[in-house]
Amino acid sequence: MATQQQRPVKPIKLEPRWPAGLALLAVGGLRLALPPSLSVGPDWMLLAVVGILILPTEWTRVREYYTACKVLGYVLAAIVTVDMVLSLSLLVAALPARRQSPLEMLRSAGALWITNILVFASWYWRLDGGGPRARELRGTHLDGAFLFPQMLLDPQTKVQMGEQNWSPGFVDYLFLAFNTSTAFSPTDTPVLSRWAKVLTMIQSLISLTTVALLAARAVNIL
C-alpha cells in the first residue's frame, strides 16, 4: 500500500515585534515632555509602567502563551491611550486659563500629536486581521480592516515583485496612522470595517484638536 506523500509545511513568517514595543516606550518618553500640570502622577510613571509590562508581554510570546500575550498587549495599549486622553483633556482645559507658557503649550501639543500617531498605530497593528499572530499564521494578508495597496495586486504581479507572501507590519500601520493625523484621512489605504472607521475618526478628531491648539497658541504669540 503506497503511503501518502506529505506536503511540506509552509514556514511561518515571523513579524518582528520590537517596533511596536519601541513605539510604546517612545510614548512613555514623550510623556516626559509634558509639564506636571498636564500629567496624572509623576512624569516618569508611564514610561516605568510600559517598561515593566513589556517584559511579561515578551516573555509570554517567547513561551508561546499567545492568549496571555494578546491580553497584555491590549492592557498596554489601553494604558497609554487613557493617559493620552487625560493629558489632552487637561491641555484643553488649561488653554482658556492660560496657565501654561506659550513654549510649554507648543511642546505639549506637539508631544501629544506624536503620541496620538504611535498609540493608534499600535491599536491598528494589534486589531487588524486578528492581530500579528493571526496574520503570521495566515502568511499572505488578503483580508482585514484596511485595504492596503499590496492586497490589490494580481498574483502574477505579486510574484514578480516578490510580494506573494506580503503581510502588513507595524511600519505599515504607523504610516497609516501618520496619514490619518496629517491628512485627516487614510489616503492610500481605505478603511473597510466599522471598528476601524470609528478608530480613525477618533484619531482624526484628536489630531485636529491638537493642531487647533497649536494654531491658537501661535496666533496668541504673534
Q: How far apart are CA 120 and CA 170, in angstroms?
A: 11
pLDDT of residue 195: 94
pLDDT of residue 1: 44
Q: What is the pLDDT of residues 143-186, one digit of tens each?
A: 899 999 888 887 787 787 777 788 899 999 999 999 999 987 77
Distance of CA 89 to the CA centre of its chain: 20
Instruction: Give the mean model confidence (pLDDT) for residues 64-85.
Output: 93
Amino acid found at 138? R
Question: Is pLDDT at 217 greater than 90 in this prediction?
Answer: no
Q: Which residues of 35-64 are buried (b: 16+ CB within 10 A; e: fewer)?
A: beebbeeeeeebbebbeebbeebeebbeee
Name residue, grid cell 511579561. 56
Report the percentage of the chain scoring pLDDT > 90.
45
Q: How far apart are CA 122 and CA 100, in angstroms?
A: 30
Cell of 15: 513579524
Please, are residues 120 and 180 in contact by the beta-carbon 8 Å criterion?
yes
The more confidently predicted of residues 96 and 22 is: 22
Please, are residues 219 and 199 in contact by the beta-carbon 8 Å criterion?
no
Coil, strand, or helix at residue 193?
coil
- CA-wise closest residue to 221 among 135, 80, 104: 104
Question: Is pLDDT at 72 greater than 50 in this prediction?
Answer: yes
Distances (CA, A) of 102 to 69, 91, 106: 42, 12, 6
pLDDT of residue 26: 95
Contacting residues for 181 by C-beta, under 8 A, at least 6 apart:
113, 116, 117, 120, 203, 204, 207
Using a 10 angstrom Cβ sphere, with 0-12 exposed, 13-18 middle and 19 or more buried, the burial of residue 152 is: exposed
Amino acid found at 141? H
Q: How far apart are CA 143 and CA 148, in angstroms?
A: 10
pLDDT of residue 4: 47
Q: What is the pLDDT of residues 9-59, one digit of tens each?
A: 455 566 777 889 999 999 999 999 888 888 888 889 999 999 999 999 999
Q: What is the pLDDT of residues 117-146, one digit of tens each?
A: 999 999 999 999 899 988 888 878 888 999
Please, are residues 79 and 50 in contact by the beta-carbon 8 Å criterion?
yes
pLDDT of residue 159: 80
**pLDDT tier at 77, thresholds 50, 70, 90:** very high
pLDDT of residue 8: 44
